[in-house]
Every structure is written in C-alpha cells, then in structure tokens.
C-alpha cells in the first residue's frame, strides 16, 4: 500500500494538469512504514523527453542523484515516481514497465482528461531483477 498525504496527492495531480497536454513527472520521497510506503514529500522534475513529451517521460539521472542526496539529508528516501497520462487511462504501458528500474518502488500514474486530473493509480514494481520485474496494482490511501 502507498500512503500519501492529501497535500502531496493534490500536488502531483495538479502538476499533471499544469503540464497538460504534456506528461509531467516527479519523485516521491518518504520512508517505509512497516509494509507500507509513506510519501512525505514530492519533487517535480523536468521532463527531458523533448522528442515526445505527450506520451513519454524521463528524469535526468543527474537530477535524480541530487534529489536522492537532498532527500537523505532530510531523512527521506526515494519511495516512488509519478507521471501523468494526458488523455489516456491511468494504466501502465509496456514502455512504462520497460523504463521502470526501481524494484520495490511505487509508480503512480494520473490520467488527465482535457486538462483535468481524473484517476490516480499506483503500481508497485515487483520482482527480483530486470528479467522478471512486473507491476502489481497497489492501493493508495490518503493519510
């Protein structure tokens, strides 16, 4: 399960409305709370996929390293990622799975329809390595 504070939940959905019709993306920071991931803050990222920003997202690895370091200084770890699907359902795509590498992390997707945030779903990247990784539906609970 992924627990998200209302403020962070609204912020990641709002981010997708702002960048519509392009995809937004960002990082979920927080900590493990038993079996649950608790999101305590989010960090917006620039989408580096200038070639196809409406249906692709990418976070600059250097930006990711910086976010991870600054998070750790505050006692937060990377617990997941989020992005938006402009005018597409909030389900993961084969590309999303291929480009997901953080096993044990949550991947949150929000569908944005005509500029308004609709459904937000979370998927946990399960498995042991790149060969058997898969997404499992995960419940989002608002904290």
Asked if 8 touches Zn ion (CB under 5 A), the answer is: no
With beta carbons less than 8 A apart as the criterion, state whether 82 and 26 touch. yes
Among 8, 76, 96, 124, binds Zn ion (CB under 5 A): 96
Cβ distance to Zn ion smaller for residue 5 or 55: 55
Nearest to 18 by CA among 135, 126, 130, 117: 117
The single residue listed with the structure tokens 């929000």 is: 110
Q: How far is the CB of 1 from Zn ion (least distance, A)?
A: 21
Rounded-to-integer distance, Cα 48 and Cα 58, Å: 5
Q: Which stretch binds Zn ion (CB under 5 A): 40-48, 72-80, 89-97, 117-125?
A: 89-97
Q: Which stretch binds Zn ion (CB under 5 A): 2-10, 46-54, 71-79, 93-101?
A: 93-101
Residue nearest to Zn ion (CB): 96
With beta carbons less than 8 A apart as the criterion, state whether 106 and 128 touch. no
Cβ distance to Zn ion smaller for residue 5 or 93: 93
Q: Is the peptide bond before 21 cis (omega within 30 degrees of 0)?
A: yes
Reply yes or no on whether 141 is catalytic: no
The single residue listed with the structure tokens 């392009």 is: 22
Q: Active-site positions? A: 23
What does the binding site for Zn ion look like in residue numbers (CB under 5 A)? Answer: 96
């Amino acid at each position: 399960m992924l627990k998200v504070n209302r403020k962070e939940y609204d912020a990641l959905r709002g981010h997708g409305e702002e960048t519509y019709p392009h995809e937004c993306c960002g990082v979920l920071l927080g900590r493990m709370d038993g079996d649950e991931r608790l999101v305590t803050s989010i960090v917006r990222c620039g989408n580096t996929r200038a070639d196809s920003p409406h249906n692709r997202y990418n976070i600059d690895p250097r930006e990711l390293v910086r976010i991870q370091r600054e998070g750790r200084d505050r006692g937060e770890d990377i617990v997941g990622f989020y992005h938006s699907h402009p005018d597409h359902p909030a389900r993961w795509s084969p590309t999303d799975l291929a480009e997901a590498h953080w096993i044990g992390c949550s991947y949150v997707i929000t569908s944005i329809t005509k500029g308004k945030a609709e459904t937000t779903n979370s998927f946990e990247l399960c498995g042991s390595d790149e060969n058997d990784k898969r997404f499992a539906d995960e419940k989002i609970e608002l904290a």
